[in-house]
């Protein structure tokens, strides 16, 4: 039995035994409890959130994440397509440049000897004049002089093109520049020395056009 009930039924503490009157302090406590307790209608309205409410909020968050990922994928795809277009354009431009370079190279190669041939044309003219003069005059000495002059002019034209003769006779035999076709037994030169030049060789700049054919001294 609670303290409130014992107070009511105890004749020693009740000023009016048998009356059943509740003390004022007990009545106030009961009133406060009644005031703070929710009514039936309030209890009915305070329905807890269902599982579907939590599931709905989770679905909304997932949909937002998927939408953001789809937007990011679309942006990345667009960047990749743009990069591919730029790569194709650069490759096409490179191919065009390479083609133009090759065409220019072939054109330059085709006409590379034009200047050299132009320098040789006066040599041909002088040969023709020398032959014509020799036929008319029957002068051997004039023919020899004309041919010598033309040969000098030809060597000058070759020198302008970077062509120079290879020194051979009296030089130490060098297989890089000389090609031995025999030996010279009666020679005043020491052994392994070019004693005779059979056919002159030439260089173009620093490269051998053809080696000099020589005979090498036996010593």
Give one DSSP letter per residue of the chain, joined into a string.
--HHHHHHH-TTT-SSTTS-PPPHHHHHHHHHHHHHSPPHHHHHH-PPPPHHHHHHHHHHHHHHHHHHHHHHHHHHHHHHHHHHHHHHHHHHHHHHHHHHHHHHHHHHHHTTTHHHHHHHHHHHHHHHHHHHHHHHH--HHHHHHHHHHHHHHHHHHHHHTTEEEPP-TTSBP-TTTEEEEEEESS-SSPTTBEEEEEE--EEETTEEEEPEEEEEE--
- Across the strands, what pairs with 163? 204
pLDDT, tens digit (0-9, with 9 covering 90-100), for 114-156: 888 888 888 889 888 888 888 888 888 888 888 888 899 999 9
Average pLDDT, the chain: 78
Between CA 219 and CA 186 the distance in angstroms is 8
Quick one: which of 165, 173, 156, 175 has its CA closest to 116? Answer: 156
Between CA 129 and CA 135 the distance in angstroms is 10
pLDDT of residue 135: 81
Q: Is residue 72's pLDDT more than 60?
A: yes
Between CA 102 and CA 109 the distance in angstroms is 10
pLDDT, tens digit (0-9, with 9 covering 90-100), for 82-121: 999 999 999 999 999 999 999 999 888 888 778 888 888 8
pTM above 0.75, yes or no: no
pLDDT of residue 136: 84
Give me the CATH code for the 163-219 domain, please: 2.30.22.10
Contact (Cβ atoms closer than 8 angstroms) between residue 166 and residue 212: yes
Between CA 75 and CA 81 the distance in angstroms is 10
List the domain boundaries for the chain.
163-219
Quick one: which of 55, 52, 53, 75 has its CA closest to 63? Answer: 55
5, exposed or middle or buried, with CB in 10 Å at 0-12, 13-18, 19+?
A: exposed
pLDDT, tens digit (0-9, with 9 covering 90-100), for 23-32: 554 455 545 5
Between CA 49 and CA 52 the distance in angstroms is 8
CA 9-11-14 angle, to 5 degrees, is 85
């Amino acid at each position: 039995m609670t303290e409130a009930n014992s107070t009511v039924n105890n004749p020693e503490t009740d000023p009016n035994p048998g009356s059943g009157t509740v003390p004022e302090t007990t009545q106030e406590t009961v009133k406060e409890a009644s005031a703070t307790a929710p009514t039936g209608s309030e209890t009915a309205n305070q329905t807890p959130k269902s599982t579907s409410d939590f599931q709905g909020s989770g679905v909304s968050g997932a949909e937002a994440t998927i939408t953001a990922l789809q937007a990011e994928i679309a942006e990345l795809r667009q960047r990749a397509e743009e990069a591919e277009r730029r790569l194709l354009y650069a490759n096409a431009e490179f191919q065009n440049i390479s083609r133009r370079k090759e065409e220019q190279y072939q054109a330059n190669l085709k006409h590379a000897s034009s200047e050299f041939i132009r320098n040789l044309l006066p040599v041909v003219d002088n040969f023709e004049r020398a032959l014509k003069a020799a036929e008319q005059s029957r002068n051997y000495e004039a023919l020899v002089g004309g041919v010598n002059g033309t040969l000098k002019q030809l060597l000058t034209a070759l020198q302008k093109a970077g062509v120079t003769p290879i020194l051979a006779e009296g030089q130490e035999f060098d297989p890089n520049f000389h090609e031995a076709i025999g030996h010279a037994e009666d020679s005043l030169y020491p052994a392994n020395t070019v004693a005779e030049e059979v056919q002159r060789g030439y260089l173009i700049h620093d490269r051998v056009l053809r080696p000099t054919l020589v005979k090498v001294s036996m010593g």
